[in-house]
Structure 1
Amino acid sequence: MRIITQHTLGGPEVLTIEERPTPHPLPTEALVRVEAIGLNPLEPRLREGEFPLLGAPPFILGWDVSGVVEQTASWRFAPGDEVFGMPLFPRAANAYAEYVAVPAAQLVRKPASLSHVEAAALPIVGLTAWQGLVDIGRVTAGDRVLVHAGGGGVGHVAIQIARARGAHVITTASASKREFVESLGAHEVIDYTTDDFAERVHDVDVVLDTLGGDTVERSLAVLRPGGHLVTMVADEDLELAARFEAAGMRFSGIAVDPDPDALRQLVDLVEKGQLLVHVHETFPFDRIADAHRLLEAGHVQGKLVLTV
């Protein structure tokens, strides 16, 4: 099979395609013939060595996969079943490959309503948004929710989840993405290039932060007493957490995990027509470097996906 690997840290040019033996699934695992791979902003940062999550090269990036079960010793699936998920995160899942052998328990059946491309785009962003808003934030009907960067991968799914739960949804986005985020269900859109959300927004129950930096600090001003900030970026900032708690607010970090039950909840929203995964662009397997360049450039609307 073909894989995409790297032997040194660096720019997109270090990603190379090589041949490796097809893995054999262990008991409880499934061998999946990969049809599509979701790309996430974390991956270029790992490629460059910003985080030592996968250790020193060589390694294979990627977690979001959708494909067809080729072989399994697990009772959960049979050969021919279409499945998707983000197995093993944050350990290496080696998803930039034509085949992966992963725990069957961390995969779910792909519904007919999702293409393999759409299914591969969903897991990490969908689970991050679900776990942040539902499991941690406990968003419910009538809550006021602020989603930062609503046009991005996590943000565009978070808007739809919050809306499906009956919340009043406010988001920050550039003017070029206003129509897009409004189509997803955002009630209010703050153009971060011209307006300060901290002056425009108030009495928020839950803030979902995808940006970090001073965005987190300024979000303190928009929360109602007892409000909750959930961040996927500044989760280890103990000093900032103490400031929120001293002000009577709650502060939580999220490290997404491959929860198949939550992924099934996301599938249910898809089936009900309450969740649409937007794919900005797809790239063939051998154009992985181009895909990483676009991912690093930012301003992607929704997700990028690699097709196999």
Structure 2
Amino acid sequence: MRAITQHTLGGPEVLTIVDAPEPRPLPTEVLVRVEAIGLNPLEPRLRAGEFPLLGRPPFILGWDISGVVEAALTWRFRPGDEVFGMPLFPRAANAYAEIVAAPALHLTRKPASLSHVEAAALPVVGLTAWQGLVDLGGVTEGDRVLVHGGGGGVGHVAIQLAKVLGAHVIATASGSKREFVEGFGADEVIDYTTADFTEAVRDVDVVLDTLGGDVPERSLEVLRPGGHLVTAVAEEDVELAAKFEAAGRRFSGIAVEPDPVALRYLVDLVEQGKLRVHVQETFPFERIADAHRALERGHLRGKLVLTV
């Protein structure tokens, strides 16, 4: 099989397509012939060595996959089943490859209403939004929810999920993305290039942060007493957590986890027409370096996907 690996840390040019042995599934695992791979902003940072989640190279990046089961050492799936998911995160799933071995419990069946490209785009962003808003944020009907980065991968899914939960949704985004973000249900859009969100909004129940920088700390100003910041970026900032606690606000960091139950809930929402995932662009397997350059440029609308 072909796989994309790297033997050194560095820029997109270190990503190399190689011939590699097929993985061998263990009991309770399946072998998936991959059709599409969702790309996430974390992956260029790992490639460049910004933090050693996967240790030293060589390693194979990637977690979001959609494809067809080739072999199954489990009763949960059979060869020919179409599946998708986010196996093993944060351990290496070796998803930048034509064939991936994955725990059956980390996958779910792909609905006919989702293409492989759309399915591969959903797991990381969908589960981050679900775990942030439902499991940690506890969003309920009537809550005021602020989603930072509403036009991005997590953001555009989080807007839709918060609306399903009955929330009033405020999103930050650049002015060029206003129509895009409103199309996913945002009730208010704050153009962060021309307005300060701390002056534009108050009495927020839950803030979902996908941006980091000074955004989590500044979000303290817009939360009501007892309000809750959930951040997918500054999750280990102990000092910031203490500042929120001292101010009578809650602080939670989220590191997304595989969750087939939540993934099935997301599938239900897709099939009900209440959730869709936007793919800005697809790249063929051979153009992985170009895909990483696009990830690093940022300002994406939704997700980028690699096709196999």
TM norm. shorter chain > 0.5 = yes
Q: CA deviation at 1:133?
A: 0.3
- Report the equivalent of 1:125: 125
- Report the equivalent of 1:184: 184
Cα deviation 1:90-139 (Å, max 9, x = unaligned): 00000000000111111000000100000000000100010000000000
TM-score normalised to structure 2 length = 0.99
- Report the equivalent of 2:293: 293
CA distance in 1 between partners of 2:250 and 2:66 (Å): 36
| 4+ residue runs over 4 A deviation | none
Q: Which residue type is aligned with residue 240 of structure 2?
A: L
Q: How does 1:10-29 map to 2 (within 5 A)?
A: 10-29=10-29
Q: CA deviation at 1:237?
A: 1.0
Cα deviation 1:230-269 (Å, max 9, x = unaligned): 0011111111111111111000000100011011111111
Q: How does 1:89-238 map to 2 (within 5 A)?
A: 89-238=89-238
CA distance in 1 between partners of 2:243 and 2:221 (Å): 12
Cα deviation 1:18-70 (Å, max 9, x = unaligned): 00111121111000000000000000000000010000000000000000000
Percent identical: 81
Q: CA deviation at 1:213?
A: 1.6
Q: CA deviation at 1:199?
A: 0.3
CA distance in 1 between partners of 2:101 and 2:214 (Å): 41
CA distance in 2 between partners of 1:211 and 1:95 (Å): 25
CA distance in 2 between partners of 1:94 and 1:30 (Å): 14
Q: Which residue type is aligned with residue 239 of structure 1?
A: E
- Report the equivalent of 2:255: 255
SS of 1:124's equivalent in the other structure is: helix
- Report the equivalent of 1:85: 85
CA distance in 1 between partners of 2:236 and 2:89 (Å): 19
Q: CA deviation at 1:212?
A: 1.2
SS of 2:227's equivalent in the other structure is: strand
Q: CA deviation at 1:146?
A: 0.0
CA distance in 2 between partners of 1:66 and 1:201 (Å): 39
Q: Which residue type is aligned with residue 115 of structure 2?
A: S
CA distance in 2 between partners of 1:53 and 1:23 (Å): 21
Q: How does 1:68-79 map to 2 (within 5 A)?
A: 68-79=68-79
Q: Name structure 1 gaps, 5 residues minimum.
A: none
CA distance in 1 between partners of 2:271 and 2:198 (Å): 36
SS of 1:184's equivalent in the other structure is: coil
- Report the equivalent of 1:305: 305
- Report the equivalent of 1:59: 59
Q: Which residue type is aligned with residue 40 of structure 2?
A: N
Q: Which residue type is aligned with residue 35 of structure 1?
A: E
Please provide the CA RMSD for this pair: 0.5
- Report the equivalent of 1:280: 280
Q: Which residue type is aligned with residue 45 of structure 2?
A: R
SS of 2:183's equivalent in the other structure is: helix
In the comparison of the two structures, how many residue pairs are matched? 308
CA distance in 1 between partners of 2:67 and 2:31 (Å): 10
Q: Name structure 2 gaps, 5 residues minimum.
A: none
Q: CA deviation at 1:73?
A: 1.3
CA distance in 2 between partners of 1:62 and 1:238 (Å): 28
Q: Which residue type is aligned with residue 110 of structure 1?
A: K
CA distance in 2 between partners of 1:240 and 1:8 (Å): 34
SS of 1:244's equivalent in the other structure is: helix
